[in-house]
Amino acid sequence: MIDRPTRARFNGPGMRNSAHDRLGRPLRDLRISVTDRCNLRCSYCMPKEIFGRDYRFLDRASMLSFEEIERLASLLVELGVTKLRLTGGEPLLRADLSVLVRKLAALPVDLAMTTNGLLLAQHAPELADAGLGRVTVSLDALDDTTFKTTNGVGATARRVLDGIDAAADAGLGPVKINMVVRRGVNEHCVLPMARRFHGTGHAFRIIEYMDVGHTNGWRLDEVVPARTLLEEIDRVLPLEPVAPAYRGEVARRWRYRDGGGEIGVIASVTKPFCGDCSRVRVSSDGKLYTCLFATDGHDVRSWLRGPVEDRVILERLRGLWSRRTDRYSETRSAVSAGLPKVEMSYIGG
């Protein structure tokens, strides 16, 4: 049986229950994948050559239920989590997602979601009503020739832009727009993206192409250094740096000197930020990963489905985090880049 009464005896985030790893990094950010399915086949995440018609995704019984996700999230909040993000796959493919959002919105966390935006126009109002705070939308190009090439299924940028507008109208803004840049594919689209979202109130973010997973054929020479892209934007729309809003902020922030808003840069390859990483990730089938580039996860689903009390699970979770030493991006090498790491679509970005 789940030991619900003991939860009231725990201290809140930041109190004596707060967890720190071996490098002194606190547990603050939680990303929960609610499905391993996606309606796109982006080459850097779910290449269609691998994730084709015959690919076997998780069945419903294998995935964490909404009640299990709520229970696990509540326990991780006890250990210090203050930010919770729903991911996928594509999270909007999970049926009745607003039901889960309503459960998680009752926790003392900043609740957000990352989506490819294709279904966002349809679901934004109900998600906002359920208590979702913000959304981040992935969009790798504005011109359909490039975007259709990157997403693998012929989806149009207009549909994503409509989703961004719907999210803003529903109160889920300002929206963050993530663009993964890959040399020879879409680096020519960066400046048009910056111009499109300049002055809109939304935050455009550039992400260096990373070696997440092992099916995307990542090569270092396909990485366009974020600094190069910033310089390109700065020549047209002058920028100045912005101080981090909090320790562990992943994106380095810049603002337009003319007051047109901000852009962010996630440069895991050229400017690793492992030293302040405070994130833990949970896959849709209940495996916990202490690094985006992990090769193995910890099976917490068996704890949630077994006769294990909350207090015991809490201490097991604390133990997992307290033993953490991950700093992959700081130690990346030709050898480590080729390891069979967990796929991005399985644990979210």
Residue 259: is its pLDDT beyond 90?
yes
Q: What is the mean pLDDT of the chain?
A: 88
21: its two tokens: 């790893």
The reported pLDDT for the residue numbered 5 is 30
Cα four-point dihedral sign 219, 230, 159, 33: positive
| Per-residue pLDDT tens digits for 203-250 | 999 999 876 656 666 687 889 999 999 999 999 999 999 988 777 677
Q: In angstroms, what CA-CA distances link 9 with 103, 109, 196, 310?
A: 20, 19, 50, 11
The reported pLDDT for the residue numbered 211 is 67
Beta bridge partners of 255: 240, 262
pTM above 0.85, yes or no: yes
What is the spatial distance between Cα 143 and Cα 281, in angstroms, rounded to a whole number? 33
The closest of 292, 271, 293 to 226, measured between CA atoms, is 271
How is domain 21-347 classified at the architecture level of CATH? Answer: Alpha-Beta Barrel (3.20)
Give DSSP secondary structure letters for 194-211: HHHHTTSS-EEEEEE---
Domain positions in the chain are 21-347
Instruction: Give a three-class secondary structure readout of 134-165.
Output: EEEEECCCCCHHHHHHHHCCCCCHHHHHHHHH
Residue 91: is its pLDDT beyond 50?
yes
- Could you tell me if 139 and 167 are in contact, meaning their C-beta atoms sit under 8 angstroms apart? no
| Per-residue pLDDT tens digits for 21-49 | 999 999 999 999 999 999 999 888 888 88
Beta bridge partners of 342: none
More confident residue, 129 or 53: 129
CA 255 to chain centre: 22
The reported pLDDT for the residue numbered 249 is 74
Q: In angstroms, what CA-CA distances link 202 with 43, 91, 165, 176, 262?
A: 26, 21, 10, 6, 8
Mean pLDDT of 250-270: 91
What share of the chain in percent tops pLDDT 90?
71
In sequence order, which ranges of the chain are alpha helices (DSSP H)? 66-78, 97-104, 120-130, 144-151, 157-169, 190-197, 226-236, 301-305, 310-322, 328-331, 344-347
